Amino acid sequence: MRQAVPLTITFLVGLLLIVAVFIPPLKDLERTFTLFFDIIAVFAFFLGGGNLLRVHFNKLRNKKPDWGYSIVTIVGFTWMLIVGLLKIGNPGNIASAVDAPGSLFYQTFHTVLVPLSSTMYSLLAFFVASASYRAFRAKNREATLLLIAAFIILLGRTPFGMMVSGWIPDSFSLLQIPNLAVWIMNSPNLAGQRAIMIGIGLGVISMSLRLILGIERSHLGGDKA
Amino acid sequence: MTRPSDSFGCPSAVRIALLVIAAVIGISITAAAQTEAAPADSVIADTTAVRVAPPTSVVAEDHKYDAGGEVDLSWVPSISESLQNSPVLGYRIYRSVNGNPEILLDELLPGEAEYEDKDVVKDSVYSYRVATIATDRSEYLSITTQPLQPQVENIDFNKSYLFLIALVISGAVIYFVETAKRGKKLFVRRIAGLEAIDDAVGRATEMGRPVLFIPGINDMDDVQTLAALTILGRVAHTIADFDSKIFMPVSRSLVMTAARETIKNAYQTAGRPDAYSDDMVSYVTDEQFGYVAAVDGVMVRERPATVFLLGAFFAESLILAETGNSVGAIQIAGTARPAQLPFFIAACDFTLIGEELFAASAYLSGEPRQLGSLKGQDVGKFIAMVVILVGVLSVTLAEAYQIGLFEGIFNWLSRIFSSN
Amino acid sequence: MEHIALWLGAFLTLGILSFLYEDNPWYKLSEAIFVGVSAGYWCIVLYWDNIVGKFYNRVGEDPMLWIGMILGILMLLRLVPKIGWISRWPLSFIVGATSGFWLMNYLASNIMVQTKATILPLLSTHFGMGVDAPLAMVLSQLVVVVGTFTGLIYFFFSKEHRGAFGYGAKVGIFFIMITFGASFGYTVMSRMSLLIGRIDFLLGDWLGLIN
């Protein structure tokens, strides 16, 4: 029962959505099931958000290391809940959109979340430099190819590409770095992308079938649970 | 002496009077018709009015293979569009439902000759008119289309080839699953990243440091997250066996619930139900970079010995992989997003490329049925390769030497693979 | 207020950037604020968009949405240990829906579209004028076809990469590595521009040192 019902639900729902592609009266099922998912996600958030608060309250209560920061997390979370649910400072009060300009919710988003997100994103500039250093050590033929392709594309997108290869005559214009970069993107890169995408498609089909048919049950504890 | 008369026997004065009366009636009718024909924003033409031709051949057809929710409208654009400095501003679509007065449905730019009305229901009857809008905003209407009731088609025959291919590939997967179940041995090539899992978890046990599992940042409606959770089941079993620790911060509450279920069941199956704790999986935040900030913090503070980065990742993939690298963890990554794979290749010890992520759980299980599904995937790849080979040869010979047979083969293949 | 926002933005920006040196209290504080505020933000957005927008405002016209509500409530039964196993049912629903939906989607978009797009002529009277244009076109088309073909060989699971097959797989992985290199090179510059944006904020908006 504990496995049979979930497996049956998975099978029926999966089959229904596959068949719905070919049966026009069932086409709306996708949209309906997406709405179900969105509603279920909110209830799951009660569990997730509750867990977040529980973890931090526990840290606070037991004075675990860095418990002080848990106060900050709890205060931040509670602040957004209050200003968002009560729509404090919203121009049209409770009737207006929760993120209406001028509302405390909106202001907190722009003052706090936007700089934090942008800065985390900008860390990529540093990490890409360190990743490049490691990737470009060319330990084998595959890494060498990766390095050369990356280098050509990088140079091709800057003025240096033309500066370095501008001397190449027009009859061999393909070897000029900007043109070579375009050709690499449109030919070998495209080929590799296609092979990966076809493989992914087949992988998804296989895994989906295993889940729908109940062959894959590790999320339910496997055959022995 | 009799007065002159026409062939109908009326005297001429009466004739003239009748003509005048007829002219007055005719003008009135024409004026009334023009008012009726221009329901919105019409301007009665004066000597400076712009005159354009209405669209012709307006046809309304039921959209094929749907649930009666769409009508396709087509027309021949006004010939006035072909004039120099075309006086056509665009077109207006008017619709009448069940004989009720027309309403304006939409306005289109010049040159448009088609419209899809998706706001219809199968139980109603619709008729349409299309008006050419002149530069002075006057309208010139077409004739009304025949009343049309959208039909429901229960099967979409446009997708018959898609169905056929789905059947072939799914059939191959199921066939090899069944064949493997009957005991036929199947060879599966070594995948280095998956072979390394046991060693990676063992390393964590020896060092007394936890295993960190990151299932991507998307929710359970992403198939990559499902793949990550199926792998989690196998990895958690190994962790339970090795008596190591797992820590799994997640970005979605649903994933948290599913992951807890998966790990709990894995520990039960491994005979270690007492070692499981809900605290192994914790929700952080839905915000992409907030999650990354928290996970980075966990990495530098907990210093995991092994990090799994499996699932759907976006720009944050590099931040996570580099941070994991900086704390000296062994990293096994996998995603089906080609744009993120280079960063995993650069920063991680092992990377599962695309399809390998979806094959991983089957590979790790070692179960014949699951391995059989991998063989089915290979059949799909084989079919794709054959189609590409035959297609390329056909289209090459057809285009270079105009050989009709190969043109036919190419067209047939194009038709099959366009059915989606 | 704008002044406070500017200083707060700068404080949080520098707090996150300090992570590049090492973990420190400033980063921990910024991280705690980030997690708390963003989790609260998404909680509110989910509530107003999904519960109010997608359920409450629509359930009158679409009573089927009650099924979603029931499944959501079943999810909460996880909190009751004795009947917590019922929460597997909505999870199973999601697993089935995701699998069924994406199976057909990936078949159409990844397999059929990509296979069709790879069927390219190696010779054609339509390749255009110029001495080297036809040869370049032939080579380009050949590269795409061969690259896709050998890339697929690389991903075969049920055949050992040996002999001619192994050679094909080797060529395939070369193409895949070129793909990864191209992707890497393509993204590097855009990552740099993100940092430029932040530096512009700190030196320009906050400190007023640059225009």
- The 10s digit of each residue's pLDDT in B260-308 is 999 999 999 899 999 999 999 999 999 999 999 999 999 999 999 999 9
Rounded Cα distance between A153 and C177, Å, is 13
> Does B46 touch chain A if contact means CB atoms closer than 8 Å?
no
Pairing type for strands B126-134 and B88-97 reads antiparallel
Q: What chain A residue is nearest to C70 in terms of C-alpha separation?
A: A40
Q: What chain C residue is nearest to B254 in terms of C-alpha separation?
A: C91
CA distances in angstroms from B9 to A55, B5, B14, B65, listed in the order given:
109, 6, 10, 65
Buried b (16+ CB within 10 A) or exposed e, B113-133: eebebeebeeeeebbbbbbbb
Given a cut of 80, whether residue B6 has pLDDT beyond it is: no
Q: What chain A residue is nearest to B229 in terms of C-alpha separation?
A: A219
Rounded Cα distance between B35 and A92, Å, is 44
Long-range pairs, C202-209, Cβ under 8 A, ≥24:
C202/C10, C202/C13, C202/C14, C205/C6, C206/C6, C206/C7, C206/C9, C206/C10
Q: What percent of chain A has pLDDT over 70?
A: 96
Given a cut of 80, whether residue B21 has pLDDT beyond it is: no
Predicted confidence at residue B33, as pLDDT, reads: 44
Given a cut of 90, whether residue B333 has pLDDT beyond it is: yes
Tell me the shortest Cα–Cα distance from A101 to chain B, in angstroms. Answer: 21
Beta-carbon separation of A143 and C177 below 8 A: yes
Beta-carbon separation of A212 and C100 below 8 A: yes
CA distances in angstroms from B99 to B117, B128, C202, listed in the order given:
17, 11, 65
B246 phi, psi to nearest 5 deg: -120, 140
Q: Residue B26: pLDDT band by 50, 70, 90 thresholds? A: very low
User: Can you give B95-149 as a three-state secondary structure string?
Assistant: EEECCCCCEEEEEECCCCCEEEECCCCCCCCEEEEEEEEECCCCEEECCCCCCEC
Tell me the shortest Cα–Cα distance from B252 to chain C, in angstroms. Answer: 10
Predicted confidence at residue B349, as pLDDT, reads: 92
Given a cut of 70, whether residue B16 has pLDDT beyond it is: no
Higher-pLDDT residue of A136 and C113 is C113
B 67-86 near A (Cβ less than 8 A): 67
B283 phi, psi to nearest 5 deg: -80, 140
Mean pLDDT of chain B: 86
Long-range pairs, B378-383, Cβ under 8 A, ≥24:
B378/C156, B378/C157, B378/C158, B378/C159, B379/B169, B379/B172, B379/B173, B379/B176, B380/A202, B380/A205, B380/B169, B380/B172, B380/B173, B380/C111, B381/A198, B381/A199, B381/A202, B381/C152, B381/C155, B381/C156, B383/B168, B383/B169
Predicted confidence at residue B123, as pLDDT, reads: 87
Q: Which residues of C touch A37 (CB under 8 A)?
A: 68, 94, 97
Per the DSSP assignment, residues forming a β-bridge with B312 are: B216
Predicted confidence at residue B2, as pLDDT, reads: 34
CA B253 to chain centre: 26
Who among B284, B395, B420 is closest to C35 (CB)?
B284
Q: Which residues of C touch A114 (CB under 8 A)?
A: 9
Predicted confidence at residue C131, as pLDDT, reads: 36
Rounded Cα distance between B66 and C185, Å, is 45
* Mean pLDDT, range B373-385, rounded to an integer: 92
Please tell me the total number of residues recorded for chain C in this structure: 211
Residue whose token pair is 């049309």: B148
Rounded Cα distance between B391 and A107, Å, is 58
Rounded Cα distance between B326 and B341, Å, is 19
Pairing type for strands B126-134 and B139-141 reads antiparallel
Predicted confidence at residue A199, as pLDDT, reads: 95
Rounded Cα distance between B367 and A132, Å, is 39
Higher-pLDDT residue of C6 and B16 is C6
Given a cut of 70, whether residue B24 has pLDDT beyond it is: no
Pick from C70, C7, C16, C11: nearest CA to C195: C16
Instruction: Name the amino acid, one letter, at B265.
Output: N
User: What tokens does B171 get?
Assistant: 């059939």
* Mean pLDDT, range A219-224, rounded to an integer: 60
Rounded Cα distance between C167 and B293, Å, is 44
HSE-up of B357 (CA within 13 Å, CB side)?
Answer: 33
Given a cut of 90, whether residue A135 has pLDDT beyond it is: no
Instruction: Name the amino acid, one letter, at C188.
Output: V
Q: What percent of chain A has pLDDT over 90?
A: 51
CA B275 to chain centre: 44
- The 10s digit of each residue's pLDDT in A60-85 is 999 988 899 999 999 999 999 999 99
Q: Which residues of B touch A37 (CB under 8 A)?
A: 220-221
Judged by average pLDDT, the poorest of B123-137, B155-169, C182-196 is C182-196
User: What tokens does A89 get?
Assistant: 């400072």
Q: Residue B32: pLDDT band by 50, 70, 90 thresholds? A: very low
Predicted confidence at residue C134, as pLDDT, reads: 67
Beta-carbon separation of C181 and A37 below 8 A: no
CB pairs under 8 A between A and B: 218
CA angle C14, C16, C21 (to 5 degrees): 85
Rounded Cα distance between B410 and B389, Å, is 11
- The 10s digit of each residue's pLDDT in C155-190 is 998 888 889 999 999 999 999 999 999 998 888 877
Q: Residue B418: pLDDT band by 50, 70, 90 thresholds? A: confident
Given a cut of 90, whether residue C53 has pLDDT beyond it is: no
Tell me the shortest Cα–Cα distance from B280 to chain C, in angstroms. Answer: 16
HSE-up of C202 (CA within 13 Å, CB side)?
Answer: 19
Tell me the shortest Cα–Cα distance from C38 to chain A, in angstroms. Answer: 7
Tell me the shortest Cα–Cα distance from A168 to chain B, in angstroms. Answer: 31
Rounded Cα distance between A207 and A223, Å, is 17
Q: Residue B139: pLDDT band by 50, 70, 90 thresholds? A: very high
ipTM rounded to 2 decimals: 0.91
Predicted confidence at residue C3, as pLDDT, reads: 83
> Does B192 touch chain C if contact means CB atoms closer than 8 Å?
no
Predicted confidence at residue A100, as pLDDT, reads: 81
Q: Residue C113: pLDDT band by 50, 70, 90 thresholds? A: very high
Given a cut of 90, whether residue C61 has pLDDT beyond it is: no
Beta-carbon separation of C46 and A7 below 8 A: no
Q: What percent of chain B has pLDDT over 90?
A: 65
- The 10s digit of each residue's pLDDT in A154-185 is 888 888 888 888 888 887 787 888 888 999 99
User: What tokens does B138 get?
Assistant: 């006057």
Who among C30, C42, C94 is closest to B221 (CB)?
C94
Predicted confidence at residue B19, as pLDDT, reads: 46
Whether the CB-CB separation of C147 and C139 falls below 8 Å is answered with no
Beta-carbon count within 10 A of A187 CB: 19
Q: What percent of chain B has pLDDT over 70?
A: 88
* Mean pLDDT, range C40-62, rounded to an integer: 90
Tell me the shortest Cα–Cα distance from A109 to chain B, in angstroms. Answer: 12
Per the DSSP assignment, residues forming a β-bridge with B127 are: B96
- For chain C, where are the alpha helices, taking DSSP H only? 2-17, 25-46, 65-76, 88-106, 113-118, 133-154, 163-200
Pick from B162, B146, B31, B21: nearest CA to B96: B146
Using CB atoms, which chains have 3+ pairs under 8 A with C? A, B
Beta-carbon separation of C157 and B374 below 8 A: yes
Per the DSSP assignment, residues forming a β-bridge with B94 are: B104, B129
Whether the CB-CB separation of B336 and B328 falls below 8 Å is answered with no
Given a cut of 80, whether residue A218 has pLDDT beyond it is: no
Strand order in the sheet with B211-216: B281-283, B246-250, B211-216, B306-312, B330-335, B350-353
Using CB atoms, which chains have 3+ pairs under 8 A with B? A, C
Predicted confidence at residue C135, as pLDDT, reads: 73
Higher-pLDDT residue of B235 and B399 is B235
Predicted confidence at residue C94, as pLDDT, reads: 94
CB pairs under 8 A between B and C: 181
Q: Which residues of B touch C180 (CB under 8 A)?
A: 341-342, 345
Beta-carbon separation of A184 and C182 below 8 A: yes
* Mean pLDDT, range C13-41, rounded to an integer: 93
User: What tokens does B411 get?
Assistant: 């067209």
Per the DSSP assignment, residues forming a β-bridge with B116 are: B72
Using CB atoms, which chains have 3+ pairs under 8 A with A? B, C
User: What tokens does B200 get?
Assistant: 């990676």
Predicted confidence at residue C89, as pLDDT, reads: 92
Who among A113, A124, A219 is closest to C191 (CB)?
A124
Tell me the shortest Cα–Cα distance from C171 to chain B, in angstroms. Answer: 15
Three-class DSSP category at B337:
coil
* Mean pLDDT, range B147-154, rounded to an integer: 92
Mean pLDDT of chain A: 88
Predicted confidence at residue B35, as pLDDT, reads: 43
